[in-house]
Amino acid sequence: MGVAVVGITAALSLGACGGSDVTAARLDNAIAPTFANLYARQQALIGKSLPAAPQSSASCHRSGRDAPQTGAGADWICQLLLQVGTSLTQYTYELTVQATGCYTADGPPALVGQVTLTTPAGGTRVNPLFAFDGCFDSW
C-alpha cells in the first residue's frame, strides 16, 4: 500500500511539471484587480478622494519577439487600463514572473510617481504603485 501511495504522489508531481501554469490570461486576471486596489490606496495616501471605485483591465505578454506566451521570466510586459469615473489612463509595467505564479511589477515613474509619496500631513510613505508584488494560484 505504501508503494502505491508513493507511485501516485510521484505521478501527480510529474504531471504538474508537464506544462506551464504561468499564462498571459492568468497574469491578466491577477494583476488588474491588484493594480486597481493599489491605485485607490495611493490616492488615499495623498489625500485624494475618488469619484468611483477604480476599475482596471490588463493585457500581458512576453516581450521577446518569438517568446512563448507562457512560463516564468523577467520579460513580461503588462498594459493596464485604469478607469476612474469617466477618466481612462493606460500604464505599462514590466514584470518578473516566477514559476510559482508570483510576480514583481515595476511601474513607470512618469505616471505613478517616485518610490515615496508625501501625505497631506507632510509625512513620507512608500508609493504602492511604484513597484508591487502579487501572486495568482498557480498550483
Q: Return the pLDDT at 3.
A: 46
Q: Could you tell me the pLDDT band of residue 67, with boundaries at 50, 70 and 90?
A: confident
pLDDT tens per residue, range 85-137: 999 999 999 999 999 999 999 999 998 999 999 999 999 999 999 999 999 87
d(C-alpha 125, C-alpha 128), whole Å: 9
Q: Which cell numbers in the block locate residue 31?
A: 494583476
Q: The pTM is what?
A: 0.82
Domain ranges of the chain: 21-135
Q: Return the pLDDT at 17.
A: 45
Q: Return the pLDDT at 65.
A: 78
Q: Return the pLDDT at 1.
A: 47
pLDDT tens per residue, range 5-64: 444 443 344 344 445 689 999 999 999 999 999 999 999 999 999 988 999 999 999 997
Q: Could you tell me the pLDDT band of residue 80, with boundaries at 50, 70 and 90?
A: very high
